[in-house]
Structure 1
Amino acid sequence: MNTEKQLSRGANSYLDEINIQYEKLTAFGLEIHKVQLSQIKEIFQLDHIYQELNIFLPPNIKSSRFIRQLEFLTGRLAAKYALQSLNLQDSIIYQGKHGEPLWPEDVMGGISHVGSKKSCHAIAYARNNTVKEKTFGIDIESQKHYVFFKKKDEFYDVFLNKNEQAEIEKLQKKQAYFYLVIFSAKESIIKAIYLKYKQIIDFKIIKFKQLDGEFIYFHLRQESLIEINLEVKVQFFYTNNEIITISCIEN
């Protein structure tokens, strides 16, 4: 789908100076909106685009580095497309105390982004919060980030136990970027758990169980604070340069 037809712009629009690519993906019956922004080189361009698209720019983001402002913009633009499916594209998404997006009333959603100074990618979804049978978390990672997973035990220990590392090492030979896929999958689960329970959990309580095609299964158990005992299914797929994961918690 071509975003050029969907973004309203006035004369001498700064949107004419940048490259915006948009596509819609589907997983678990959920529409996921993916945006790529490139050809933005200066902060003054970002300022004008934020204003033109009526996207809220929090003070902590405005004072941050260029790349952080670009990532935030790309994520909020993806969210704008997601809200368009609910006829809420003019709604302003504010920022919560933990940095989470504050969606319009009766809307549940998620945003994830990854980028560099040359381009930034983001995904988002938004759905009616009255549909409560499932909770979703989403994550996007650059395949270039796999360089961080070149067998550094101390890094793996942050998000995997030793049994998981042994299992994933076997699968790594057949499945490209699998350590990065697992990292992303656990990130998406953490986001889904926060949406459902308003609680931030640790990577280590999410245990890898098995790989089945494009789906990964995890078991999650926690007894402190809120007791959680769940089986979680995650779908993953590759784009040209990214890995996208979507976790689904059955309510």
Structure 2
Amino acid sequence: MFISDDFNLEPPHRAAVFAGCRFEVSAFEPALFDQMNIMRPPEIAGAVGKRQAEFLAGRYLVQRGLAQLGVPEQSVGTGAHRQPLWPPDVSGAITHADGVAVVLMSSQPTALVGVDVETVLDADMAATVAPQVLSNSEKELLQAATGSALETLTAVFSAKETLFKALFPLVGRYFGFEAAILNATPEQRRISLALTQDLSPGAPRGRVFDIAWRLHDGQVLTWLVEP
């Protein structure tokens, strides 16, 4: 079975759908796109099986979410930067990692929506990721945090990914991890990030975003919904 263990999470304020599923990459076959009535774009059809499986699981959740919002069934396309092209009355974000896919959707089309899921980093991966994600001042804040250092580092990495997804529709371009830094010591359920540069009129330097996070079955899940 390709899709298993559908689950729903409590949607944050201003969101209407927060759902996930587990999927088996080994059970993927191209015929599932037709069976599940999900369009397979040309760029996905030419991708490796793992990428196709991730796309299919994400769009399966989108299909469920649109039905829950009462939006007519339709394909959610992919932009030039692999971002979902949402219907006019919807904003949202999709994420997947290690056989888990999650979608967060809002019926407020101008909302900034981001979500990310990451398997908790092991010590070797943490040593590689930390210099890419954290400045020296952020490393000091991370050291002051309570709880598992590996879980907290994973959460900060994931929070920056969530912020990127939320801001990309507003900014329209890629930006690096250094564009947002920890604004305070990470907490058990919240990570505060401040922009270090002007990304757009709606995302000026100094704007602070509070990213929620939690552990879910051995993975870190982060999310954001902002006006």
Question: Per the shorter chain, which TM-score range?
Answer: 0.7 to 0.9
- Work out the CA distance in 2 between the residues paired with 1:204 and 1:67: 30
- Work out the CA distance in 2 between the residues paired with 1:61 and 1:105: 23
- Work out the CA distance in 1 between the residues paired with 2:199 and 2:108: 27
Describe the SS at the equivalent of 2:102. strand
Report the counterpart of residue 41 of structure 1 in structure 2: 26
Describe the SS at the equivalent of 2:21. strand
Give the one of 94, 99, 110 matched to 2:77.
Answer: 94
TM-score scaled by length of structure 2: 0.87
Segments of structure 2 that go 5 or more residues without pairing to the other structure are: none
Contact between 1:149 and 1:180, CA under 8 Å: does it hold in 2? no
Q: CA RMSD in A?
A: 2.3
Contact between 1:214 and 1:235, CA under 8 Å: does it hold in 2? yes
Q: Which letter does structure 2 place at the counterpart of 1:184?
A: S
Report the counterpart of residue 22 of structure 1 in structure 2: 6
User: RCO (CA 8 Å, sep 6+): is it higher in 1 or 2?
Assistant: 2
Report the counterpart of residue 194 of structure 1 in structure 2: 168
Describe the SS at the equivalent of 2:47. coil
Report the counterpart of residue 119 of structure 2 in structure 1: 142
Segments of structure 1 that go 5 or more residues without pairing to the other structure are: 1-16
Contact between 2:92 and 2:104, CA under 8 Å: does it hold in 1? yes
- Work out the CA distance in 2 between the residues paired with 1:246 and 1:225: 21
1:219 to 2:219 alignment: no
Describe the SS at the equivalent of 1:245. strand
Alignment coverage as a number of residue pairs: 222
Report the counterpart of residue 129 of structure 1 in structure 2: 108
Q: Deviations over 1:135-192 (max 9, x none)?
A: 221101122x43553434xx42222111101221332655551111100000000111
1:182 to 2:161 alignment: no
Report the counterpart of residue 157 of structure 1 in structure 2: 131
Q: Which letter does structure 2 place at the counterpart of 1:121?
A: V
Larger Rg: 1
